[in-house]
Amino acid sequence: MARPQPLLFIFFLIANSFNADAAGVKFELIHRHHLHPGDPLPPRKLVHSDASRAQAISRKVRSRLNASGELPLHSAADYGVGQYLVKLNMGSPGQHLVLIPDTGSDLTWTKCRYKCNDDDCGRIKSGHRSRLFRADRSSSFKTVTCSSTSCQTDLADLFSLTICPSPLHPCAYNYSYVDGTFALGVFAHETVTFSLTNGRKARLRNVLVGCSESSTGRSLLGADGIMGLGYSPNSTAAHAAGVFGGKFSYCLVDHLSPRSASSHLIFGSYKDANVSVARIRHTELVLGAIGTFYAVRVRGISVGGTMLDIPAEVWDFGRGGGAFLDSGMTLTVLTTPAYEPVMAALGEPLRGFERVYYGEVGPEYCFNSTGFDERVVPRFVLHFVDGARFEPPVKSYVIDDAPGVKCLGLADGGAGPDASIVGNIMQQNHLWEFDFGKRRLGFGPSSCT
């Protein structure tokens, strides 16, 4: 999902506990401070402290489970959007939901009714009719009240505004994304139920969730909400990965695949899930450098074996640059100093094809693909500081747009300084493993099926 705007209203997850009946989880899947006495603890240190605690707990839990959680995942192409979808049950008893797994955000929320009657619970203010979580039917749904410590202090220092009409009201949020998607609702703690690989069940309790009574956004077509997987104590990733070895991974099938082509979102080791990877490579996973995003240290980009002339500050976290991965962003976004040389290098061998122009509503460089052979396109390679290289297939950056039309799947992120974003199309047909404990990103080519 596109990055949330700075003014987000998020509140702290007071506690979480995990109850597993057996081994492994299975889901069906159809976003540097020097402290003085009295200074607030920076979010980065809060997350690091929670991650350390979670790793210690997970070692005990995993010794009993001896398995990883596996959540089948598929493309939302059938709905005409560039997202992926995961299916899970939430509440007690569990209610079926379909969410967008998003490493670019932290809050897990769903279209929901907190208080309603049978006459209006079937209707919700959203862009289309879909499943609706009935909070009134869940015995484990507990709102976070405005008078609670979590609402008033625990995360209030981390965000500029909270919505609290009175101490007895539930904490509310107005969560927005740069693509125009937004959700308005109340915070609660709820139970999320996982199917285990041995056929039994596991319950993740006291997960911070959002009950959104109003939401809109084209990205939500086919989805009931968003699963926040960012590096935050609030996210589903922090809870589930903490139980399963302090890591999670996913493998995205081709973005145009039908829903019958399933891949996986995995909590724990991808090896437990028998995911086939041709060759796994590793680079540093930089946590806390760009908010709760999963950042990487980039040295540069080469096209056709030639390193491009991109200013070093484009990749410098200290100067407002850098790069991160976002499973909820469709196209890869490069700031202008990187975007322009990359587009020039990739566009040069395509000059023989007739251009197709969409104006401001589509990608900048599209062309008539009659007679196109991807062998004419030079290889795009992302080089990391530690020597690792990410080499996506040509179809991940020369993408299908319409019958007989292809486009370069890159977007201009502006002059900056700002971070560049590796979107989900560029990530497709690769396994990506986010290891919190080792602060390491693993990746390698895979069929994902």
Mean pLDDT score across all residues of the chain:
82
If pLDDT is split at 50, 70 and 90, which confidence band does 18 have?
A: very low
If pLDDT is split at 50, 70 and 90, which confidence band does 340 have?
A: very high
- Mean local confidence (pLDDT), 344-367: 91
Closest CA to 222 of 367, 347, 111, 322: 111
- Mean local confidence (pLDDT), 403-408: 96
Q: Which residues are marked as active site?
A: 102, 326
Q: What angle do CA 39, 44, 49 make, to 5 degrees?
A: 90
For helices 43-65 and 236-243, what crossing angle results, to 10°? Answer: 40
CA distance 162 to 12: 12
Please say if the pLDDT value at position 386 is more than 50: yes
CA distance 217 to 209: 19
Q: Are strands 420-422 and 323-325 parallel, antiparallel or unpaired?
A: parallel
Q: What is the pLDDT of residues 229-245, one digit of tens each?
A: 999 887 889 888 888 88
Q: What angle do CA 265, 328, 8 make, to 5 degrees?
A: 115
pLDDT of residue 45: 45
pLDDT of residue 302: 98
Closest CA to 104 of 449, 424, 430: 424
Q: What is the pLDDT of residues 269-327, one digit of tens each?
A: 888 877 889 899 999 999 999 999 999 999 999 999 999 999 999 999 999 999 999 99
- Mean local confidence (pLDDT), 427-447: 96
pTM, rounded to two decimals? 0.83
